[in-house]
Amino acid sequence: MVDGSDSVDAVGAVSCTNYRRASRVYLPGRVCSEPGCETVLSIYNPEDRCSRHAIVAGSTRRRRNRSLPKAS
Which of 62, 59, 68, 30 shows the shortest CA–CA distance to 47?
A: 30
Per-residue pLDDT at 41 exceeds 70: yes
Is pLDDT at 46 greater than 60 in this prediction? yes
**How far apart are the C-alpha atoms of 24 and 51, rounded to whole Å?**
18
Q: Report the predicted TM-score, pTM, of the whole model to 2 decimal places.
A: 0.51
- Residue spans per domain, the chain: 21-54
CB 41 within 8 A of CB 30: yes
